[in-house]
Chain A
C-alpha cells in the first residue's frame, strides 16, 4: 500500500521560497502514475498546484505557474515542491498525492503539512 509523507518548514517569511518534499513508500515512483501537490487554505477549498510524471514531465495550475516548480528524484523515491515569492495568501496545509494513472482523480494522499507565511 502506497504511503506519502510531506516534510519541510512550518514557518516561512514573506517573499521567501517554500521547499517541501514528499517521500513515497510502498510503491516505486518510477512505476507510473502522476504525483502532485494540492493545498488547502484555512476555511477554503482545495487547490491543485501541479503534477509531475516519473519522466519529469510537469504541468501546473496557471494561477501559480510563474512561482511554482515540481521536481522528482526517482533514486530517493521522492518528489518536491518549490513555491517562490511567498505571501500570507500562501498559508495553507500542503498535501502531496498520487494521481490516477490515466485520469485526474487523487487516490492516495499524505497527511499534509501546515505552512504559515509570516514574518
Chain B
C-alpha cells in the first residue's frame, strides 16, 4: 500500500495568516503518461463528511475559494490557505488515487 503521511498533526494559525499542511507519499504518485499527480485534498468540519477541495494535486473544485491552493509533485505535496478565515477551521486529509487500495493521510487538525 502507498502510505500517506501528513504533517503537522495539528496546526494553530491566526486569522489572516498563511497555513501550510504537508503530505508525503511513500512512493511517487506522478503518472508519467499524463504528467499528473494522483493526489486529492479534503476538508472535514466537525460532524460533517469530508468535502473534496482539490484533485490532481492542484486543481480546485468549482466553488472552492482561491485562498486554497495545492502544490507539489512526486512524493511531496502541500495544501496552503493563503489567508486563514474562521470557517477554515477543520480537519484536512490528503488521499492518493494512483494505486488501489486508495489511501489517506491521518489528517491535520487546523485551529485558530
Which A residues fall within an 8 A CB radius of B? 44-48, 59, 61-63, 95, 97, 100, 103-107, 109-112
Contact B49 A103 (CB under 8 A): no
A63 contacts B101, C-beta separation under 8 Å: yes
B68 within 8 A of A: no
**A109 and B93: CB pair below 8 A?**
no
Q: Mark B33-62, 1 if CB is under 8 A from A, else 0.
A: 000001010100000111110010000010
Q: Give B47 Cβ to nearest chain A Cβ, in Å.
A: 9
A62–B40 CA distance with the chains assembled, in angstroms: 21
Count of CB-CB pairs between chains A and B under 8 Å: 53
Asked if B102 and A104 sit within 8 Å, CB to CB, the answer is yes
Residue-wise interface mask of B (9-42) relative to A, using a CB-CB cutoff of 8 A (1 in contact, 0 not): 0000000000000000000000000000010101
A47–B104 touching, CB < 8 Å: yes
Cα–Cα, bound, A117→B108 (Å):
27
Q: A103-B55, A105-B55, A107-B52 are in contact. Are A46 and B95 (CB under 8 A)?
A: yes
User: Shortest CB–CB separation between residue B6 and chain A, in angstroms?
Assistant: 9
How near does chain A come to B51, taking the closest CB pair, in angstroms? 7
CB atoms of A46 and B93 under 8 A apart: yes
User: What's the Cα separation between A44 and B61 when bound, in Å?
Assistant: 25
B107 on the A face (CB < 8 A): yes
Q: Mind listing 27 A-B residue pairs with CB under 8 Å? A: A44-B106, A45-B104, A45-B107, A46-B95, A46-B104, A46-B107, A48-B102, A62-B101, A63-B1, A63-B101, A97-B49, A103-B55, A103-B97, A104-B38, A104-B95, A104-B100, A104-B102, A105-B95, A105-B97, A106-B40, A106-B95, A109-B49, A109-B50, A110-B49, A111-B48, A111-B49, A112-B49
Report B41 CB to chain A, min CB distance, Å: 9
B70 interface residue per 8 A CB criterion: no
